[in-house]
Chains A and B, each alone.
Chain A
Amino acid sequence: MSEGSENRVDRIVSDLLRGRRLRLRGGDADEKEAITAAARLVAAGQGVQRMHPAFRKRMAQALEAAPNGGWLTRRAALVAGLGVVTGVAAGGLMGRAMEPNLSSYVPAPRQVSPANGRWVDVGALADFVDGQATRVTAGAIGAFLFRRGDTVNAVSSICSDLPCELQWNGGTHVLDCPCHPASFTPAGAPTNKAYPLPSLDLVSARVTDAGRVEILGT
């Protein structure tokens, strides 16, 4: 990270002053106190905030969608109503948060499909330890490769939330993000059910007849 702290914090301050959401990157955690102080000051400078009429209306519609108006105990109806909101914010955090059954929802993973991709040999199947991750590269594609018997799967080596290189934790068998408390299973699913993140992107991997492992890279 060559960008200085003062530049990174000012980027965040500038975003906040323009009404944009907090977009944090790896390394921003070093200035967490300054960033939280900036967020509070921005809010203080704008005075007491109430819900935007459009947002309030969406919330009201979601609450009214509950049968017989009994929003307090009708979880399913509320979820159904709020699901409408999800479509409005496709791709955003809100979309993830508003999906049914927050505790088990995991956004669908995406397959990495590089333009003009090509299969790149990353080693013999016998070189990979069963159940353990191995960091491999195939041109511009970085991935963690997992062997299960005679099959393999691979996931992107980049965290789906912050642009940081994941690290394999052999003790807990998860991929840890060094930039914040996030981790992912070998299949790429986030492990923190209370705060769902997108799954890791999937990288195509295969075993050839000759027992070689190949990754679809660039």
Chain B
Amino acid sequence: MTTGPGRSQSEARGDEGAGEILELPAASSSTAIALDELELVYAFIYARVGNRPDAEDLTQQVAMKAIPRLRPGAPASAIRGYLFATARSVLGAFWSTRLGLSESELHEDLAMAVPPGPPSEEPAERARRVLESLSDNYRRVLTLRFLHGYSLKEVAAEMRSTVGAVKVMQLRALRAAAKVRLDE
């Protein structure tokens, strides 16, 4: 739904290489680098909260917490690592505060490796694999609802069912999807 600017300067130069030193000669350049990194953070967070307002809030929290603690000349990999460590912490606090999730229940996020480069199709690929592992009915209801954007009524018509039954099936399918553990 949202689209941002095209490839940034740093992406084009391939500045993400581990161990490289980030040079910060001018304000515009350092800002561009910061924004590139925050783009990765934003995509990471969005893939987990599924909506723009929360993703923007949390990305700003990450910037607020992490950027003042970074140092010029730090390796790019270290800067990214710190940003994502902060992002995981902010996400953890978000879910913990909103839902009462314990840290052990957030293990998937906590164990997630730092993305090596620009936002990838990883979340979509992961979702596809999760859906593939579900039963036909569960996969169908989630695919229609989440990937095709069908309303409950439309899903019910498509599946020759009732809205109430689809609601229950949607809940059960989401519970089943949450239990899927993919081999990374």
Query: Chain A interface (Cβ within 8 Å of chain B)?
Result: 5-7, 9-10, 13, 15-17, 19-22, 24, 28-29, 31-53, 55-56, 59-60, 62-64, 66, 68-75, 78-79, 82, 85, 89, 92-94, 97-98, 102, 161, 179-182, 192, 194-195, 197
B119 lies within 8 A of A49 (CB) = yes
Residues in A with CB closer than 8 Å to B145 are 13, 17
B171 lies within 8 A of A72 (CB) = no
A197 CB to closest chain B CB (Å) equals 7
B171 lies within 8 A of A34 (CB) = yes
B174 lies within 8 A of A38 (CB) = yes
Shortest Cβ distance from B25 into A: residue: A69
B178 lies within 8 A of A34 (CB) = yes
Residues in B with CB closer than 8 Å to A64 are 27-28, 31
Residues in B with CB closer than 8 Å to A98 are 60-61, 64
A44 lies within 8 A of B93 (CB) = no
Q: Chain B interface secondary structure, helix, strand, loop or mixed?
A: helix
**Known contacts A38-B174, A53-B5, A78-B68: A180-B98 contact under CB 8 Å:** yes
**Known contacts A34-B175, A195-B97: A72-B24 contact under CB 8 Å:** yes
Complexed CA–CA distance, A49 and B127 (Å): 15
B4 lies within 8 A of A51 (CB) = yes
Q: How large is the interface on B (under 10, 10 to 19, 20 to 34, 35 or more residues)?
A: 35 or more
B49 lies within 8 A of A45 (CB) = no
B105 within 8 A of A: yes
B119 lies within 8 A of A48 (CB) = yes
A40 lies within 8 A of B48 (CB) = yes
B54 within 8 A of A: yes
Complexed CA–CA distance, A24 and B99 (Å): 8
Shortest Cβ distance from A34 into B: residue: B174
A52 lies within 8 A of B2 (CB) = yes
